[in-house]
Amino acid sequence: MTGAGGASASGQQTSNPLMSFLPIIIMFALLYFLMIMPQQKKQKELQKMLDSLQVNDKVLTTSGIYGRIVTIKPDKNTVVIEIDETNHVRVEFQRGAVATIIPAESGVVQS
């Protein structure tokens, strides 16, 4: 005797496929907002800083060398940085090697 009670017991509940992927979608959304978006913002700020480099800017390179930009090469990919004013020691770096521009009022002593 398969009555109404037997039919409901053998029937399976259909689940929404979107609901099964919802935790994965939420995880990717969190990953984007917590990791990818801040990294993209930081990259844009770095590119803006590199584009604003000018001659006589005091800079710190990624290798920890302080200096002053003497020349920006025409190809715009390299800069010449003077690291010793008394002996006129100049080194050529890629633009991307400049980590920060040092403000004039920071008081960093260069030798």
Q: Give tens-digit pLDDT for 19-38.
A: 888 889 999 999 998 999 99
CA distance 90 to 99: 18
Identify whether the C-beta of residue 58 lies closer than 8 Å to the C-beta of residue 68.
yes
The DSSP secondary-structure symbol of 64 reads: S
Q: Average model confidence (pLDDT) for the chain? A: 84
Query: What are the structural domain ranges in the chain?
Result: 17-52, 53-105
Phi-psi region of 74 (alpha: psi -120 to 50; beta: other; left: phi over 0): alpha
53-105: which CATH topology?
Answer: SH3 type barrels. (2.30.30)
Residues 46-101 pLDDT 10s? 999 988 889 999 999 999 999 999 999 888 789 999 999 889 899 999 999 999 99
Specify the pLDDT at position 1.
54
pTM of the model: 0.63
